[in-house]
Amino acid sequence: MSCGGRKTGNASFFIVERIRFIMNIIDAHCHVPYKERDLHPTLGVEFTRAALRRNMQAHDIDAVVSPTSYSPQWNDGPLIREHDLANWDTNIHFLLGINPLQCSEGGNEGIERARKLMLDGTVKGLKVYLGYYHVAVTDERYMRFFALANELKRPVMLHTGDTHYKTGKLRYSHPLVVDDIAVDFPDARFVIAHLGNPWTVDAAAVVYKNANVFTDLSGMFIGSQMPPSLRRQVQEAYEYVDNPTKFMFGTDWPVCEVGPYIEEFKRTIPERDHGLFFRENALNVYDL
């Protein structure tokens, strides 16, 4: 029997290694509360730093990747919630949200500041809220940030699929649009958030085609159980892509309950790939 290319006559070594990977999870898509005490305005759940820490400890989550969060009530500048990036634990890794409405055509608002924040390690990469902002992914205001990510070889997470707020417009958030930028910026790494749900087949096609495109399975369902039809969609997409390095675990907390979400994906993703899915792929995609 082999594990990671090493032969061993001790089967228990393989079992221990596999359990270790499962139990040390990276949540590759998790939202953090900017206030010490808060109640999520639409979900009505405790959305506090203490609740985040409890979840991480209870479920053996070593680190989370968190995009700086969009809300239609906030009047952010070009860089979303930049002022809230300080004084976090070292196992919270941020992606810098981009607000295209505060970027002028032909201007460079936020570009040099985003460059600095990526180079000094404050953020790992960028987040684009497709659909929430009624701006096409190929708009010049976004393309300047993709060029920066390409230059620095950084990851860019893109919201795709349905939107949490009804003010979103779905024609901007279809996962097929990610193919355009993946081709034009081959040195950036693009992450299709939520597997483009409900357009999971289209998302899988983009992930399969492009070496620099990945996906996270965050926010796929709300509650404690994944609908059987959705589980089949995820498994079909997984089989279609046929590359276990392309999929990452994420919860989209506080949208989803962490414990049940982990258990559902332990059943959905082949056990042989749990180490990649729950941990290693996020390490590689986000340079953690």
Cβ-based neighbour number of residue 40 at 10 Å: 16
Count up the domains in the chain and report the number. Answer: 1
Domain around 256: 27-285
Q: pTM for the complete prediction? A: 0.89
Q: Check: CB of residue 56 under 8 Å from CB of residue 281.
A: no
- What does the alpha-carbon distance between residue 23 and residue 62 come to, in Å, rounded to a whole number? 9
Residue 175 lies in a domain: yes
- What does the alpha-carbon distance between residue 110 and residue 77 come to, in Å, rounded to a whole number? 8
Which tens digits make up the pLDDT trace of 53-80? 999 999 999 999 999 988 877 778 899 9
Q: Check: CB of residue 188 under 8 Å from CB of residue 158.
A: no
Query: Which DSSP letter does residue 133 get?
Result: B
Which tens digits make up the pLDDT trace of 155-172? 999 999 999 888 899 999
As a whole-number percent, the residues of the chain with pLDDT over 70 amount to 89
Residue 8 lies in a domain: no
Residue 100 lies in a domain: yes
Domain containing residue 37: CATH number: 3.20.20.140
Q: Which two tokens stand for residue 12?
A: 């228990």
Residue 264 lies in a domain: yes
What's residue 67's pLDDT? Answer: 96
Residue 191 lies in a domain: yes
Q: How far is CA 10 from CA 3, 14, 16, 107, 136, in A?
A: 11, 7, 11, 61, 54
Residue 97 lies in a domain: yes
Residue 12 lies in a domain: no
Residue 261 lies in a domain: yes
